Amino acid sequence: MNNGSSQIQVVLGLGSNLGDSRQIIFEAIIDLKEVLTKLRTASFYETKPLYVEDQNRFVNTAVAGYYTGSEDSLSAGKLLQSINRIEERFGRDRSRERRWGERLLDIDILLFGNLKIREAALEIPHPRLKERRFALQPLLELLPDASEPCTGLSYRSVCEALSDQGVTLLPERIENM
């Protein structure tokens, strides 16, 4: 019996600028293996804070994998709940942090198949993806031909049009798991 479930390709962005950021992200990626199959990881980048500058530099990366569900807002919402639980496990408390400020772990859904969602609690593709080199560069490592759902706008062309924004490739790399 087909229940409408399928494998949806998902790209998540991860960032941290408190504690041992590299280790936190590494451990979060291990946790994400319980949520996504065929997980692949991009390089790690050190990035200058983009919106609130009086804080530590961030470590950022992206992962791509497959989520079992339907390509709809209900499945995307379930993925978001799983991500929020992982963030909380690493001490994230959204009620105590400043917007775009310091954080132990931030995981954003950048892409969820070709889905476009505009809801109060969830926007996909991520609403600020096109202005963030720290999200686009690792995404393009994983999906070099990625484009915006609905419009077909090439994320590569968007990334190339941005300034460098203080994004630096880090030498260490996590082998795909």
CATH code, domain carrying 37: 3.30.70.560
Angle at CA of residue 10, ends 89 and 48, nearest 5°: 65
Residue 90 lies in a domain: yes
Spatial distance between the Cα atoms of 22 and 104, rounded to a whole number of angstroms: 10
Least confident of 14-23, 87-96, 133-142: 87-96
Give me the mean pLDDT over the 64-88 stretch: 93
Residue 177 lies in a domain: no
The total domain count for the chain is 1
- Three-state secondary-structure class, residue 129: helix
Give me the mean pLDDT over the 134-141 stretch: 96
Predicted TM-score (pTM) above 0.75: yes
Q: What is the pLDDT of residue 150?
A: 80
**Cis amide bond preceding 125, omega within 30:** yes
Residue 175 lies in a domain: no
Residue 107 lies in a domain: yes
Percent of the chain with pLDDT over 70: 94
Residue 114 lies in a domain: yes
Residue 59 lies in a domain: yes
Instruction: Residue 98: give the domain boundaries.
Output: 6-169
Residue 174 lies in a domain: no
Dihedral sign (CA 105, 106, 112, 118): positive
Spatial distance between the Cα atoms of 77 and 154, rounded to a whole number of angstroms: 26
Active centre residues (catalytic): 92, 103, 106, 108
| Measured CA distances, 123 to 17, 88, 128 (Å) | 24, 20, 10
Residue 176 lies in a domain: no
